[in-house]
Structure 1
Amino acid sequence: MRVRDELGELFSDAEFAAAYGTRGRPGLSPGMLALITVLQKVENLTDRAAADRAKYGMDWKYALSLELDDPGFDHTVLSEFRTRVAEHGLEEKALDLLLATLADKGLVKAGGRQRSDSTHVIAAVRDLNRLELAGECVRAALEALSVAAPGWVERVLEVPGWADRYRARVDSWRLPASETKRAELARAYGADGYALVSAVHAPFSPAWLRQVPAIQALRVMLIQNYVRVTDGKGREVIKRRESLESGGEGIPPGRYRLTSPYDVDARWAAKGEDLFWNGFKVHVSETCDNTPEAAAAAAGGGERVPPNLITGVITTDATVPDTQATDPIHQALARRGLLPAEHYLDSGYPSAELLVGARERYGIALVTPALLDHSAQARAQAGYDRTAFTIDWDNQHVTCPQGQRNASWTPCTQRGTDAIVIRFSGEVCQPCPVRAACTTATTRGRQLTIRAQKIQQALDNARAEQSTNAWQDKYKLRAGVEGTIRQAVAVTDIRQARYRGLPKVHLDHVFSAVALNLIRLDAWWNDHPLDRTRTSHLARLELALAS
């Protein structure tokens, strides 16, 4: 109710017009359905429960501008609404509209400080090993064809035989324990898959069968997990792919490998030694200007600092590293006109190029631990690392701590990155009295590898700055985004995908971000501070008794 009073109509029907046709029976208001979806995330309700709240809840009726005797709607309308929005590329619309309204009221703006972090998201599918995946892909394709073209299945396939093998879902506890029998079963799944795909692509089969998503997933699985070879007698043999280390044909890397026929966007990924999951990754960005110091300063002038609000959500598959999400985050913020002056990130997001590119393209200073120097001298914190050498960029001269100049300056490309290799003459380095502190080379001189001038200077400055106490105190501000991740998990269960496919998962994350913003705004309007993260029930009781 407070949101309705303060912000008015957040989502107008016209903003979602692209997802609806102009002919046919009029449907429910998409703007109303968008707000219901947000309130559903606020209270963590199912579709059925949300439909009941919209029908019987007085506060929801007020927020939705419904009559008291409004009969409500069937809960399946919410699923249809989400599908329409995702299929028409309107996943970001709800957050865009909310932030535009908040910008008009001065609650968010460009400049200032923002911070970002990511967390894992588990897909809404079963975890399958390679054998289960092969069998389940064949079964999913058969199920889809039996619904889409039952007549074709009856004419082309031996239905009783196929039904006997793929009647129930493929589970490890139903599979044989013997390695030999499991290998035979894997080859049988591959043979069945190739036979089914060949039948679908035969001239006598309708062309549209090839576009069935389950058939396309089956084709991808076969390419990634099987190979057809010819044996010594000239017969075609289907065998499973094995890794190159095992002397096999090689398995595609995880970023391309299908993990389930029911969610072709999910991927397996690992982080550290104890986190291994199948699904996605979500990146959350928020403002962080509401600090105790800023609140105290504003209170002295009779003003209030707006709460920290989420300004962007990026969803990727689980294999995309954080560093590849940095520029998309900035692009989204630029599109909304909410670019920060300082962006606080952990060490997974930056690269040397991004330190320069973010400032040049967007005017953003990245406050983040820079990549460290991994040379032997820097790791040992002894001897002469790169900072001990003086670089004259204009003349391409490098001077060592003993006053000797380099013998060569060679631009090159290393692993797709532009670099410069600098070498000192062995005749100079071998008799040097401090050679042991400078290089481990026994016959050659010292070698340095640096980046282009702008990138190397930005990297050197960042490394020097982050070692100061002032920078470390400033960087403590980034840790607050962990509390936002915790709130998202506690309120909206953001680490567990409710839907399948990247578009719908991202749509769910966007509505979660809108819901969290409304929760924070409601607390700020009512002057009710939100709980600190990880506050125990006993500690909360103590605070209540003290007040």
Structure 2
Amino acid sequence: MCGVDAAAAARGCAGVDGEDGPGGVPEGALAIRIRDELGELFADERFAAAFGVRGKPGISPAQLAMVTVLQFAENLTDRQAAEAVRARIDWKYCLALELDDPGFDFTVLSQFRTRLLDHGLEELALDLLLATLQDKGLVAAGGKQRTDSTHVISAVRDLNRTELAGETVRAALEALAVAAPGWLATAIDVSDWNTRYGRRVDSWRMPSSKTKREELAGAYGTDGYALLRAVYASDAPGWLAELPAVEVLRVVLLQNYTRTLTSNGREVITRREAEQDGLPPGRLRVASPYDLDARWAVKGEDLFWCGYKVHYSETCGTPPERCAPGGEDGEVPNIITNVAVTHAAVPDVAMTAPIHQALEARDLLPGEHYVDSGYPSVPLVAASRRDYGVTLISPLLADVSAQARAGTGFDRAAFCIDFDTRTARCPQGHTSSSWSPCRQRGTEAIVIKFDTTTCAPCPVRAQCTTARRGGRQLTVLPRELHAAQQSARAEQNTADWQAKYAIRAGAESTMHQAVTACGARRARYRGLAKTQLQQAFSAVALNMIRLDAHWAGHPLDRTRTSHLTRLHLALAA
């Protein structure tokens, strides 16, 4: 039976009013509507770079891309997705398969993802969907967009520093046992080392005594360096040092241990302590030997995670010229236009410019970009308007000086800055004595100082500075940026600005939908590139879910309605 007959069969098995039909296919199933509205969304030619042109024809990469989208839309495993291709009529219709098509083995999906990653095509599905929606007038440049981020927990077990050292030694031993078993048998006492590293570190309980835990950590360091000495010995094969697991072991030992020589030439290996020896910054510190991209991060007082951070950008506040028939009030749904994944330690402000670059490449730059206070800085606000024509709508971080936090002292706003005369005047009428342009953390700034003889006898010194010696010191931005900063801070306190900025709160519902529908807060795969692929396909799936609701005339709920409110509305009706 051909694909057309599969459509009739799919519709015949669909139920009524959202109920499941005899074939288990819901009325107006997502897969059926995707095919009806978008046709053949993906074409094999667009994936040609990742697939050979010689040999026996394989499974259509376009079909595998659509299977992956449907898989993420329903949050299925590879096995479940392969079974759905074999057994579900709505999926067969969407993929234009015959009803008796046997499908494929689930491992094909993993191989497909690997090919996409090897050829840099992890975002191709999202690009193709957005291009199609642009042609249909459902998304366009200009208008309003909003961006927010959330944490993504890595697909590896969380390890403390002791466990990390032990598991890294074990991972190196496993790699050497596969690559050079004969050499390893002569380099170490296999029976003795197997006692310590034969099982994963998380399969047994760590000692409860602090002393024994420190001894265990020291033993891991000693064994690790002993293994590295054997690998780097002159009589060892040179290629052993090039094994990835061995390099990871070298880095982990360097980051977590110190080696010193005593006066009699004895080597002492001790674990690094942050206060005495120092530790690498979190953005550089390896967290797991099995996922080298994952990093530890903290947000607030109660959120600690090891993994990544994902940034979703979507359209919002559809302008009248982009309204389309269908859906609620003829509005088009909010469309996710970009997804960016970083390791967890990258701050949001570092992603503002890359997000704009990605949107520019897709010809989807917004006119107004709504973000929270973690994304902008005063130079970024100016650069976004100058380089991309984008107005960043976001509250700038407030003055965090001691005087501003106290609320009773003289903060920077209390001083009159004169850029023409390169001076500042304090609330008591005194003039600054020093004006020094500089660069702080890569940003142009100006340091203004008041003379000690001026500030020392001042009757309000306690409200102005906490310095025991010297006078008050101010750090301000250059003229244009300082004016923009003062204007923005004044404007964001107005009721009109706050009412306008309220549209950004809708990004939280997008995060909720991504988490509940696609499991976006847990990485399915290991590594930054694979997590980027996961989130890109999740974005395509979320867009499909929203478009399906739009085409069906049943937009997703904008807000939650309590049961009491529903009862009230029912009685009123």
| TM-score normalised to structure 1 length | 0.91
CA contact (8 A) 1:141 1:218 kept: yes
Deviation at 1:310, TM superposition (A): 0.6
Unmatched tracts of structure 2, length 5 or more: 1-31
Does 1:228 find its partner at 2:265? no
1:145-170 Cα offsets, whole Å, 9 max, x none, are 22233333334333222222211111
Q: Which residue of 1 aligns with 2:307?
A: 279
Q: Which residue of 1 aligns with 2:13?
A: none
CA contact (8 A) 1:295 1:304 kept: no
CA shift in 2, pair 1:164/1:497, >3 Å: same
Supply the distance in 2 between the matched residues of 1:534 and 1:491 (Cα, whole angstroms): 17
Q: Which residue of 1 aligns with 2:11?
A: none
Q: Which residue of 1 aligns with 2:280?
A: 252
Does 1:504 find its partner at 2:530? yes
1:424-450 Cα offsets, whole Å, 9 max, x none, are 456666787877765667886554321
Q: Which residue of 2 aligns with 1:474?
A: 500
**Paired residues for 1:73-152 under 5 Å:** 73-152=104-183
Unmatched tracts of structure 1, length 5 or more: none
| TM-score normalised to structure 2 length | 0.87
Supply the distance in 1 between the matched residues of 2:466 and 2:541 (Cα, whole angstroms): 58
Does 1:366 find its partner at 2:397? no
Moved more, 392-401 or 269-278: 392-401
Supply the distance in 2 between the matched residues of 1:399 and 1:309 (Cα, whole angstroms): 50
Supply the distance in 2 between the matched residues of 1:408 and 1:131 (Cα, whole angstroms): 51
Deviation at 1:100, TM superposition (A): 1.0
CA shift in 2, pair 1:431/1:133, >3 Å: closer
CA shift in 2, pair 1:128/1:11, >3 Å: same
The AA in structure 1 aligned to 2:485 is: L
Q: Which residue of 1 aligns with 2:474?
A: 448
**Paired residues for 1:180-329 under 5 Å:** 180-243=211-274, 245=275, 247=276, 249-290=277-318, 304-329=330-355
Supply the distance in 2 between the matched residues of 1:383 and 1:131 (Cα, whole angstroms): 47
CA contact (8 A) 2:34 2:548 kept: yes
Deviation at 1:265, TM superposition (A): 0.9
Supply the distance in 1 between the matched residues of 2:145 and 2:539 (Cα, whole angstroms): 15
CA shift in 2, pair 1:433/1:185, >3 Å: closer
1:149-195 Cα offsets, whole Å, 9 max, x none, are 33333343332222222111113843333333322222221122122
Between the aligned residues of both structures, percent identity stands at 63
Does 1:46 find its partner at 2:39? no
Supply the distance in 2 between the matched residues of 1:540 and 1:490 (Cα, whole angstroms): 23
CA shift in 2, pair 1:68/1:338, >3 Å: same
CA contact (8 A) 2:137 2:322 kept: no
1:485 to 511, 529, 535: 511
1:422 aligns to what SS in structure 2?
strand
Supply the distance in 1 between the matched residues of 2:238 and 2:245 (Cα, whole angstroms): 15
What is the alpha-carbon root mean square deviation over aligned residues?
2.9
CA shift in 2, pair 1:303/1:430, >3 Å: same
Moved more, 208-217 or 534-543: 534-543
1:328-366 Cα offsets, whole Å, 9 max, x none, are 111111111111111111111111211111111111111
Supply the distance in 2 between the matched residues of 1:155 and 1:442 (Cα, whole angstroms): 66
The AA in structure 2 aligned to 1:263 is: D
1:522 aligns to what SS in structure 2?
helix
The AA in structure 2 aligned to 1:257 is: R
The AA in structure 2 aligned to 1:228 is: R
The AA in structure 2 aligned to 1:197 is: L
1:395-429 Cα offsets, whole Å, 9 max, x none, are 43445556654433221233443211223456666
